[in-house]
Amino acid sequence: MRKLLIIGIGSGNPEHMTVQAINALNRADVLFIPTKGEKKTELAEVRREICARYVTRADSRTVEFAVPVRRTEGVSYDGSVDDWHARIAEIYERLIDSELSEDGTGAFLVWGDPMLYDSTIRIVERVKARGKVAFDYDVLPGITSLQALCASHRIPLNLVGKPVEITTGRRLSESFPERSQTSVVMLDGEQAFRRIDDPDAEIYWGAYLGTPDEIVISGRLADVKDEILARRAQARERMGWIMDIYLLRKGADFEE
């Protein structure tokens, strides 16, 4: 039976690769590398560099494939994502069927960690549910952008004895700071932190974490929000894309 390996490759630094992930790369007959258009060539380049650096078997090969653009106009967010996943599932199905032998092993190199705000597992499950091609799969964890963010800022993720919520920009107002003293925000295209009006809130922001273009800014939210917005806009204009994450916090480890 065909086998897929879903491998977390870290948030941009090839040295984030774990020994387990490197061994998994060398189990694969075919390494699948997604491309996301000219503006995000760096994302594919990091995957190519990882393969060049760590893959030692001479008989493996890479297959690149284009990722379709998500449709957003005239459809709800959930409907947009569902349609996007369905179209990617058709591509995965074709790749598995055409590029892998009946007992071949293929690997998908997933940015960060496949279990944290990534949909590769969901899409692979869609392919299995379609039942047109038989395969099994394993998942290999990776260094997340959340870990890289905390490491770059030299902070622990949580306050002592207190929970952490991981959310999106669309849902931030539901949690911080009333429900959670620490909120990690991913997938925020609208910079939802702009709407947080709390003099005691602190932010730890990072973009392009783990890459040579890494930017990190921290401080009291009211003091640094404008700097973050300006640096983010400049970086997006220069790079053509932005990949950022931030942690909002209110309170301390030991409060009276």
Average pLDDT (70-75) is 80
Last residue of a domain, one of 86, 110, 143: 143
Structural domain includes residue 110 = yes
Q: How is residue 225 written in tokens?
A: 């929000």
C-alpha count within 13 angstroms, C-beta hemisphere, residue 206: 24
Name which residue leads in pLDDT, 4 or 81.
4
172-226 residue pLDDT tens:
989 898 889 999 999 898 999 999 999 999 999 999 999 899 999 999 999 999 9
Does residue 49 sit in the same domain as residue 139? yes
Q: How many helices (H) and strands (E) does the chain have?
A: 6, 10
Q: Look at 63-77, 92-106, 173-187, 190-204 and tell me which has the smallest mean pLDDT.
A: 63-77
Q: How many domains does the chain have?
A: 2
Does residue 108 sit in the same domain as residue 152? no
d(CA 24, CA 118): 19
d(CA 202, CA 251): 9
Does residue 133 sit in the same domain as residue 25? yes
The confidence score (pLDDT) of residue 37 equals: 60
The confidence score (pLDDT) of residue 39 equals: 56
The confidence score (pLDDT) of residue 256 equals: 59
- For residue 217, the enclosing domain spans 146-249
3-state secondary structure of 212: coil
The confidence score (pLDDT) of residue 60 equals: 95
Structural domain includes residue 171 = yes
Does residue 22 sit in the same domain as residue 129? yes
Last residue of a domain, one of 109, 126, 143: 143
Does residue 150 sit in the same domain as residue 116? no
Structural domain includes residue 255 = no
Does residue 75 sit in the same domain as residue 199? no
Structural domain includes residue 153 = yes
Strand order, beta sheet including 244-249: 165-168, 182-186, 244-249, 202-207, 215-220
d(CA 145, CA 246): 10
d(CA 193, CA 201): 10
d(CA 13, CA 224): 27
What CATH number is given to the structural domain containing 189?
Answer: 3.30.950.10
Angle at 168 between CA 166 and CA 173, to 5 degrees: 95
Average pLDDT (54-75) is 90
User: What confidence category does residue 169 fall into, taking pLDDT thresholds of 50, 70 and 90?
Assistant: very high
Closest by Cα among 119, 93, 95 to 33: 95
Structural domain includes residue 50 = yes
d(CA 136, CA 113): 19
Does residue 187 sit in the same domain as residue 241? yes
Structural domain includes residue 254 = no
Does residue 67 sit in the same domain as residue 135? yes
User: Is residue 234 within 8 Å of residue 213, measured between CB atoms?
Assistant: no
Q: How is residue 120 written in tokens?
A: 């590769």
Does residue 24 sit in the same domain as residue 76? yes
d(CA 48, CA 14): 10
Structural domain includes residue 256 = no
Is beta strand 105-110 parallel, antiparallel or unpaired with respect to 202-207?
unpaired
Does residue 128 sit in the same domain as residue 187? no
Last residue of a domain, one of 143, 171, 190: 143
Q: How is residue 251 written in tokens?
A: 């309170």
Query: What is the residue type of 62?
Result: T
What CATH number is given to the structural domain containing 123?
Answer: 3.40.1010.10
User: What confidence category does residue 41 fall into, taking pLDDT thresholds of 50, 70 and 90?
Assistant: confident
**Run of H or E residues at 66:** strand 61-66
Does residue 137 sit in the same domain as residue 156? no
Does residue 54 sit in the same domain as residue 122? yes
